[in-house]
């Protein structure tokens, strides 16, 4: 009987491998018996959400017997204000992940192609595969590239766009590399793509980027009806646990996604918290400033151990450990520090380290030095 159900699945599902999340703290506690664990593995905001959002979550508990507002009216209105778009352009999702999958469900299928970069965010291949569509994977920039090693090569991606391409996924910045693209280069790419190809520009880490050449692509929506921008409350807004993200697109694309999405795909606490979080930009700014200073400190500690650090605009860094990284990953676990191996991305020598609070980063740095001293 073994394997029978697996063979009964839809064609795309047969070759599907599940997303690999960071190791949960409780799992490490159970397996290794270590305490006071520091998790730097899932690119969360270690400071959590704004106090305003926390208050709204507590207040929202009183209404949990009710279904959420299926249209997310208030949150959409706040997002429309923030980005200067009409509410009809917004699709809310259970995390931006939800919207990425909806886009693939809506626009892909057997014989239809999707383009993305090597080392791009792992959800793109999963969504393309689940839809039974054709993967067109562009080579990334080389490992010794001075600006963005392993980053997206827009020329290589553009060369793969053809008549059958319905979606192009661009992560800007990208996870797990942390690399980013200047706004103008992305805009030129969108300009050159056929109008029947949707460009999905994933800006999950947008708030962390301080390069003046970077751009919030929401501003281009009027100009490019085939542009879909995704953003999230999971990163700088510190609401990963509540699951809320969104896309900004042409209203017709939003209408298509609305046909497919679950009626109540964003829960009521998430709707409340996200709206309140938008009202406290000072909290996000503070978190980003601490993150960016701490990122430099973590990167310097890795460099002191002879690792090469990929330049990052995010709340994590990708480092080349110079050898198979599995041993170092395990040794850090023994020290109670969880980072993220990225062998599943085809980067077996690398580790991805999320930036924590200053104290958590101290723990990582000490653990790294302890492991190195013991070698």
Binding site for ligand PMP (CB under 6 A): 43, 95-97, 121, 171, 175, 202, 204, 232, 234, 240, 245
Nearest residue by C-beta to ligand PMP?
95
How many residues are given for the chain? 375
Nearer to ligand PMP, 292 or 305 (CB): 292
Distance in Å, CB of 124 to ligand PMP, minimum:
9
* Contact between 95 and 232 (Cβ < 8 Å): yes
Contacts from 357-360 at CB under 8 Å and sequence distance 24+? 357/46, 357/47, 357/290, 357/294, 358/290, 358/294, 360/38, 360/40, 360/46
Distance in Å, CB of 229 to ligand PMP, minimum:
12
* Contact between 337 and 356 (Cβ < 8 Å): no
Distance in Å, CB of 121 to ligand PMP, minimum:
4
Distance in Å, CB of 287 to ligand PMP, minimum:
16
| d(C-alpha 196, C-alpha 187), whole Å | 16
Nearer to ligand PMP, 96 or 249 (CB): 96
| d(C-alpha 203, C-alpha 174), whole Å | 8
Q: Which residues contact 209 (CB under 8 A, 6 or more apart)?
A: 173, 180, 313, 314
Both structure tokens of 182 = 């200047």
Give the sheet arrangement for strand 90-93, strand by strand. 90-93, 245-248, 227-232, 198-202, 165-171, 113-117, 134-138
Distance in Å, CB of 90 to ligand PMP, minimum:
14
Distance in Å, CB of 208 to ligand PMP, minimum:
11
Spacing of C-alpha 237 from chain mean position = 13
Strands 134-138 and 113-117: parallel
Nearer to ligand PMP, 276 or 367 (CB): 276
Distance in Å, CB of 235 to ligand PMP, minimum:
7
Nearer to ligand PMP, 96 or 216 (CB): 96
| d(C-alpha 30, C-alpha 187), whole Å | 48
Nearer to ligand PMP, 123 or 299 (CB): 123
Measuring CA to CA, which residue among 181, 187, 186 is closest to residue 223?
187
| d(C-alpha 319, C-alpha 352), whole Å | 6
Nearer to ligand PMP, 254 or 371 (CB): 254
| d(C-alpha 101, C-alpha 117), whole Å | 17
Three-state secondary-structure class, residue 168: strand
Distance in Å, CB of 241 to ligand PMP, minimum:
9
Nearer to ligand PMP, 76 or 368 (CB): 76
Nearer to ligand PMP, 189 or 345 (CB): 345
Distance in Å, CB of 344 to ligand PMP, minimum:
13
């Amino acid at each position: 009987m073994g394997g029978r159900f697996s063979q009964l699945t839809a064609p795309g599902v047969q070759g599907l491998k599940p997303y690999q999340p960071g190791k949960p703290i409780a799992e490490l506690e159970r397996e290794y018996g270590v305490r006071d664990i520091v998790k730097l593995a899932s690119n969360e905001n270690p400071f959590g959400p704004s106090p305003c959002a926390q208050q709204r979550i507590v207040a929202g508990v009183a209404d949990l017997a009710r279904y959420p507002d299926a249209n997310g009216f208030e949150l959409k209105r706040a997002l429309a204000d923030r980005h200067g778009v009409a509410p009809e352009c917004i699709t809310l999702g259970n995390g931006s992940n939800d919207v990425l999958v909806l886009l693939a469900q809506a626009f892909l299928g057997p014989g239809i192609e999707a383009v993305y970069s090597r080392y791009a965010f792992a959800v793109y291949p999963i969504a393309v595969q689940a839809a039974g569509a054709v993967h067109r994977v562009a080579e990334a920039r080389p490992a010794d590239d001075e600006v963005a090693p392993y980053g997206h090569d827009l020329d290589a991606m553009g060369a793969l766009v053809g008549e059958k391409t319905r979606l192009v996924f661009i992560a800007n910045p990208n996870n797990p590399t942390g690399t980013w693209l200047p706004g103008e280069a992305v805009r030129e790419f969108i300009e050159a793509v056929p109008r029947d190809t949707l460009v999905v520009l994933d800006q999950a880490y947008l708030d962390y980027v301080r390069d003046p050449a970077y751009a919030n692509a929401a501003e281009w929506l009027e100009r490019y009806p085939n542009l879909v921008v995704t953003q999230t409350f999971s990163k700088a807004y510190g609401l990963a646990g509540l699951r809320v993200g969104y896309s900004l697109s042409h209203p017709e694309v939003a209408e298509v996604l609305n046909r497919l999405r679950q009626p109540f795909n964003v829960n009521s606490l998430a709707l409340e918290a996200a709206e309140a979080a938008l009202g406290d930009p000072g909290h996000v700014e503070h978190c980003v400033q601490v993150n960016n200073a701490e990122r430099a400190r973590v990167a310097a500690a890795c460099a002191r151990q002879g690792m090469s650090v990929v330049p990052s605009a995010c709340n994590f860094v990708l480092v080349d450990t110079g050898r198979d990284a599995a041993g170092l990953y395990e040794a850090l676990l023994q020290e109670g520090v969880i980072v993220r191996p990225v062998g599943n991305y085809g980067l077996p020598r690398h580790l991805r380290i999320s930036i924590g609070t200053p104290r958590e980063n101290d723990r990582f740095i000490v653990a790294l030095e302890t492991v190195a001293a013991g070698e």
